[in-house]
């Protein structure tokens, strides 16, 4: 599911109903929603990290590369 979410697919939807059904066969409802929420958080934080380029271990007010 993560590969489908993070791989650009300009001609179609990224996560098909079939893929959701396959994931649902392996996880109960709570686990499936946990997976969806974790992946959605990654969709938020990955671009932030690519733009801000935070330095691990540095305080927030000093956490930049410029």
Residues 14-66 have pLDDT tens digits of 888 999 999 999 999 999 999 999 998 888 888 877 787 777 888 877 776 65
Whether residue 42 lies inside any domain: the answer is yes
Domain span at residue 46?
2-57
DSSP codes joined into one string, 6-44: HS--TTS-SS-HHHHHHHHHHS-HHHHHHHHHHHHHHHH
Report if residue 62 sits inside a domain. no
Residue 16 within any structural domain of the chain = yes
In a domain, 66, yes or no: no
19 located within any domain: yes
pTM, two decimals, is: 0.62
Q: Who contacts 5 (Cβ-Cβ below 8 Å, separation ≥6)?
A: 14, 15, 39, 43
Domain total in the chain = 1
Q: Is residue 11 included in any domain, yes or no?
A: yes
Quick check: is 64 in a domain? no
């Amino acid at each position: 599911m993560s590969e489908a979410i993070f791989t650009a697919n300009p001609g179609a939807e990224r996560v098909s109903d079939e893929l959701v059904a396959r994931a649902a066969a392996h996880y109960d409802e709570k686990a499936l929603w946990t997976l969806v929420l974790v992946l959605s958080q990654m969709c938020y934080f990955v671009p932030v990290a690519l733009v801000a380029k935070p330095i691990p271990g540095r305080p927030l007010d000093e956490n930049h590369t410029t």
